[in-house]
Structure 1
Amino acid sequence: MIEDFVAGIASKLGEYLVAPIGRQFGYVLFYKSYVEDLKNEVKELETARQRVQHVVDEAWCNRKPIQTAVEDWLESVKKESKEAENLLKHGESEKSACFRGWLPNPVVRHPIGRKVKKITKVIHGLHQKSQNSNFEKVYYENTPIGFVNATTSTARPVDKKEDGLKSRALITGDVMKAIADDRVRVIGVYGPGGVGKSKLLEDVERRVKEENLFDVVAMANVSRNPNLKRIQKEITDVLGLHLMNEKTVRGRAYRLREALESDPKKNVLIILDDLWEKLELKEIGIPCGDDNKARGCKLLLTSRNRDVLRIAMGSEQEFRLDELKHEEARRLFERTMGNRVNDPEFETWVDGVVKNCGGLPLLIVPLAKGLKHKDLAAWRNASTNRDLSDVKSLVELSYNDLKEERIRSLFLVCALTSGRISMRDSLVYCMGLGLFKKFSNTIQKARDRLIEDLHTL
């Protein structure tokens, strides 16, 4: 029994003493073999690096983001390969034999051989890693811009310039409250052309993403003559859906609706700008009921006509966006123009220029940009001679969009007084023009019709 115990101790001592001693001698005796192994591993690793780098370069050209693990691997390969090359050069430059080449020089070979053995394992590990399944696809797809994540919802510093227009800030705040209200599914913003409805939607979209109110936000421009394929593409692009292989509008609508309904837990906001008439949501692929009421998602809409929002699209809350008052219009002009607006040579002409824009940001901003580098003659001309081309196009579009002749006549009555006319005077003018013959059994009926027509405007 004592003999077995002694034999066991001797065996263990052999493991703990002989093996390490043998390893130390191996660094000297098998030095050349270790060096050859390292050279082969470096060569194989370089082949693997070139293969991965080619795929990475191709992905980069296609604007695909590269996996972090792949980028880290390339950096490690670069670092370890450089270290291996330096070690091999150092070994070649040292005198590794003594006694006229008869015996290896242990003082030189031992430390270099140990380093060679160690780095060979590292190089081999990197090579094995490149054959991993994770390296089959070195890139990943960008998160669709419609998906709100930690990056898009990160709050950014507030730009104080954006808070300069109080009327816009108030409307934006009201719209944000309606969007956050679970009881409201469809929200509308209406107002004349050029007042900034599209800009307001952009601000709301940004805030919704910053405050992380929805999981998915998609926006599309409908326009006067809706192109269903284009609208579908604008929505599917931000959702990361590739549906253009679907040949029919109906097929794309089915796939889009399927995607939007795939996860009931996701909160989805769809923003549709510039509606001129009823838009059939099911033809786009937006989930809705038979009454064209959005289902499973929230809608934010804009139109010049309130009836399009509340009657055709079933909006539950609408907000009117008016022209800017003179003070705010001037502030917007000054903000766009910059310091030149304070130049005494031009300052006296600012009010006239701003007034000619009629409180429409669509006219104020481009005019301010255009005058920024113009001389005094251009300022005087902009102040005293109104260029009616842009204003005319906006008014003409609004007028032509009115379907009934009675409403068009009421539009002209209001235009004659720049909209500053009392209800009583409007009623007198309209009755004098015979606009309410069908409704003039009583004054009250004519007045009720006038109120309804004014709402249409």
Structure 2
Amino acid sequence: MEPVCPFVGPVLDIFSRLWTCSAHSTDYVYKLKQNLNNLEISFNSLKCQRDDVIRRIEMAEGNPTEPAERTNVVRDWLQRVQALEIEVQKILDDNEAIKNQGGCYFFCWGRKNCWSAYKLGKLVFLKKIVVEGLLSGGNFQDVTYRCQPDPLQQIPTVEVVGMEEKFNEVLESLISEGNHVRIVGLYGMGGVGKTTLLHKVNNHFSEKEQFDVVIFIVVSKDLNLKSIQNHIGKKLGVSWRGETEVTELYDRAQNIFKVIENKKFLLLLDDIWEGFDLEIIGISKNSMQITGSKIILTTRNKQVCGFMEADKRIKIECLDEDQAWSLFEQKVKQEALSCHPDVPEVARKIAKECRGLPLALIAIGRSMSSKTDLQEWQHALHTLRKSASQFSGMVFQLLCITIFVSFFSPKR
């Protein structure tokens, strides 16, 4: 009998494993009703927990004074609960349908019924484990994190001859003229340097602590109030929920107002083509009076300054002939100007054709800085004279001429 003994242990172990496996399989079938009930109870608890988490998120995200967003962990947990809800509900609905038809999984006479009961029982058991895992993982200490406002940022800009006087005038309006000047309107034709001036103002106050927040927004031709609100909200750290709706414009304005009403802000609105009511986007002129907040806007149309109720309106004019030449000379560089004795005279005529528009002077000056042949300079002057007369100083067309001068000179 002794030789048989070494085999007894392994055989018993195999039988034990088979018995355990068989017991689990039969439990899937005979405990199906109990597991279904437990699954439904656990999942109802999970849904309650989910609703509590969502309520906490909504309270945090809806507080405009301390803007917040849900954490990535909470976001992932909610997505998993949502996906699981569909799967569990289908199991419960299918079981309810079988019961209503007078069927029953619990007395599975026949191989086919037993196999169906086994598959369902195993699925219910596994889903119950997933539900319990999400339940235990849903006890979040923090469901959101506080949004941080964008830091004050410098904007790359170019130095323009003759702009210092207007820059100082704008600063004087903001600093020395008191709270009765809340809105400053800068107006003038396109390409005259309004945007460059606004960049200088942004950079000046981004380095100082005179304002709690400086916000720069390009409005452009197609007025989009929601886009303006988005830029303001991002700068303030306000998070938006939902998509664009008519009523949401008002809701966003309310959130912006609650955050900004006690802040001293500087709002820079560039390139406005049509006026709009500031209160629609959440800016109250009354609260600006209290906090000392300021708005500077730029536009081509003086009437827009009137619609926006600008307290001070500053016209940005073209450079005079000496200023224009100084800027053009700065961009062309001396190497190009000294390539031929007659080039400086032609260059002055080209600068004059730019009509004192800084943007045109800079763009054309840069394009001519690589031209070292008198014929190229003469060709550029001829092209500019011929074309510029058609466009009445419109900078877009002048820039097109710049491209023409750069790429279609005789040397090319």
Matching of residue 340 in structure 1 with residue 335 in structure 2: yes
Distance 2:387 2:279 in 1: 38
Task: Call closer, same or farther: CA 1:379–1:303 in 2, change over 3 Å.
Answer: same
Q: Describe the superposition over 1:148-184 as per-residue Cα deviations: whole angstroms up to 9, x where unpaired.
A: 8xxx7xxxxxx9x84x62x311111011111123221
Q: What letter matches 1:361 in structure 2?
A: P
For 1:279, the equivalent position in structure 2 comes to: 276
Q: What letter matches 1:322 in structure 2?
A: E
How far is the alpha carbon of 1:210 from its aligned partner? Answer: 2.0
For 1:184, the equivalent position in structure 2 comes to: 181
Report the number of matched residues: 246
Query: Which of 356, 361, 379 is the equivalent residue of 1:381?
Result: 379
How far is the alpha carbon of 1:327 from its aligned partner? Answer: 1.2
For 2:228, the equivalent position in structure 1 comes to: 231
For 1:432, the equivalent position in structure 2 comes to: none
For 1:100, the equivalent position in structure 2 comes to: none
Distance 1:316 1:388 in 2: 42
Task: Call closer, same or farther: CA 1:294–1:285 in 2, change over 3 Å.
Answer: farther
How far is the alpha carbon of 1:283 from its aligned partner? Answer: 2.9
For 2:168, the equivalent position in structure 1 comes to: 173
User: Which aligned pairs between 1:72-221 and structure 2 lie closer than 5 A?
Assistant: 143-146=149-152, 162=159, 165=161, 167-180=162-175, 181-221=178-218
How far is the alpha carbon of 1:250 from its aligned partner? Answer: 4.5
Distance 2:241 2:388 in 1: 36
Q: What letter matches 1:362 in structure 2?
A: L
Task: Report the secondary structure of 1:222's partner residue.
Answer: strand
Q: TM-score, normalised by structure 1?
A: 0.47
Note if contact 1:254-1:285 (Cα within 8 Å) is conserved in structure 2: no
Note if contact 1:184-1:317 (Cα within 8 Å) is conserved in structure 2: yes
Q: Describe the superposition over 1:44-73 as per-residue Cα deviations: whole angstroms up to 9, x where unpaired.
A: xxxxxxxxxxxxxxxxxxxxxxxxxxxxxx
Structure 2: 5+ residue stretches without partners = 1-141, 397-412
Q: Describe the superposition over 1:393-429 as per-residue Cα deviations: whole angstroms up to 9, x where unpaired.
A: 565799xxxxxxxxxxxxxxxxxxxxxxxxxxxxxxx
Q: What letter matches 2:211 in structure 1?
A: F
User: Which aligned pairs between 1:310-321 and structure 2 lie closer than 5 A?
Assistant: 311-321=306-316
Matching of residue 349 in structure 1 with residue 346 in structure 2: yes
Distance 1:243 1:389 in 2: 48
Matching of residue 254 in structure 1 with residue 251 in structure 2: yes
Root-mean-square deviation over aligned CA pairs: 3.5
**Greater RCO structure (CA 8 Å; 6+ sep):** 2
Matching of residue 360 in structure 1 with residue 366 in structure 2: no
Distance 1:370 1:394 in 2: 21
Note if contact 2:355-2:393 (Cα within 8 Å) is conserved in structure 1: no
Larger displacement relative to structure 2 (269-278 or 192-201): 269-278
Distance 2:234 2:387 in 1: 36
Q: Describe the superposition over 1:321-343 as per-residue Cα deviations: whole angstroms up to 9, x where unpaired.
A: 10011111112112222332442
- Identical aligned residues as a percent: 27
Task: Call closer, same or farther: CA 1:240–1:339 in 2, change over 3 Å.
Answer: farther
Q: What letter matches 1:236 in structure 2?
A: G
How far is the alpha carbon of 1:189 from its aligned partner? Answer: 0.8
For 1:407, the equivalent position in structure 2 comes to: none
Note if contact 1:196-1:362 (Cα within 8 Å) is conserved in structure 2: yes
Q: Describe the superposition over 1:169-207 as per-residue Cα deviations: whole angstroms up to 9, x where unpaired.
A: 111101111112322111111111110101110001111
For 1:437, the equivalent position in structure 2 comes to: none
Task: Report the secondary structure of 1:349's partner residue.
Answer: helix
Task: Call closer, same or farther: CA 1:277–1:368 in 2, change over 3 Å.
Answer: same
Note if contact 1:228-1:249 (Cα within 8 Å) is conserved in structure 2: no
Task: Call closer, same or farther: CA 1:242–1:331 in 2, change over 3 Å.
Answer: farther
How far is the alpha carbon of 1:140 from its aligned partner? Answer: 9.6
Q: Describe the superposition over 1:365-408 as per-residue Cα deviations: whole angstroms up to 9, x where unpaired.
A: 1111212223423321222332665775565799xxxxxxxxxx
Structure 1: 5+ residue stretches without partners = 1-135, 153-158, 399-457
Q: What letter matches 1:379 in structure 2?
A: W
Matching of residue 328 in structure 1 with residue 323 in structure 2: yes
Matching of residue 240 in structure 1 with residue 237 in structure 2: yes
Task: Report the secondary structure of 2:362's partner residue.
Answer: helix
Task: Call closer, same or farther: CA 1:378–1:302 in 2, change over 3 Å.
Answer: same
Distance 2:368 2:192 in 1: 21
Q: What letter matches 1:381 in structure 2?
A: H
How far is the alpha carbon of 1:142 from its aligned partner? Answer: 6.2
Note if contact 1:269-1:299 (Cα within 8 Å) is conserved in structure 2: yes
Q: What letter matches 2:300 in structure 1?
A: R
Q: Describe the superposition over 1:241-287 as per-residue Cα deviations: whole angstroms up to 9, x where unpaired.
A: 33264433642553354234335442111111122222122333323
Distance 1:196 1:140 in 2: 39
User: Which aligned pairs between 1:373-412 and structure 2 lie closer than 5 A?
Assistant: 373-376=370-373, 377-386=375-384, 392-393=390-391
Task: Call closer, same or farther: CA 1:393–1:242 in 2, change over 3 Å.
Answer: farther
Task: Call closer, same or farther: CA 1:395–1:142 in 2, change over 3 Å.
Answer: same
How far is the alpha carbon of 1:229 from its aligned partner? Answer: 2.8
Distance 2:290 2:391 in 1: 37
Task: Report the secondary structure of 2:220's partner residue.
Answer: coil
Distance 2:337 2:223 in 1: 44
Larger displacement relative to structure 2 (340-349 or 189-198): 340-349
